[in-house]
Amino acid sequence: MKLKKLDDKINKLQEDLSSSQLQHRNRYDSLNENKRDMEAAFEERIRNLSETHQVELEENRNQYSQKMLEDAARFQELQAKKEEEARNFEENIADVVETHNLNVNQIMDKHRSMMEGQIAQTEQLKKEIERQTEDNDEILKQILQDANDEEKDIKGKNSQNVKQVEEMSLKSKAEL
């Protein structure tokens, strides 16, 4: 009986062990399956992350390329605008210089014609002065000639008057 009890106990323990082994085996299989499922899930997640990363990387590359193209276009646009502004600036400067030169030339022409007019007027005034000087010299000569003639005439008349006065005085003395 003891043996039977022991056999029963051994059988029971073997059954428990078998049952426990089966449970452990089932649990191991379940854990192993969970592990494979988790590995598959992680691999799927890694694959998804890798694909997402590749997509994002490609999008970032495309965005970077697009931004570079936009920046290059903007640079070209700004460069063209700068060149246009420089060209306009040069044209404006050329226009201002040309206008300045035209104004200077006009002023110089006016000044030249005014100076020519003043020179002509001065020459005319010099000629007028010379003519008037000649006329004045001639008039002065005539006045001096007339004065000399008149002085001679007056002296002649005076001397005749003196002679007449002397004769009259002699006559009056003789009559006295």
∠129-131-136 over CA atoms, to 5°? 90
What pLDDT sits at residue 1? 67
User: Tell me: the pLDDT tens digits for 123-153?
Assistant: 999 999 999 999 988 998 998 888 888 888 8
User: Tell me: the pLDDT tens digits for 3-44?
Assistant: 777 777 778 877 877 888 888 888 888 888 888 988 999 999
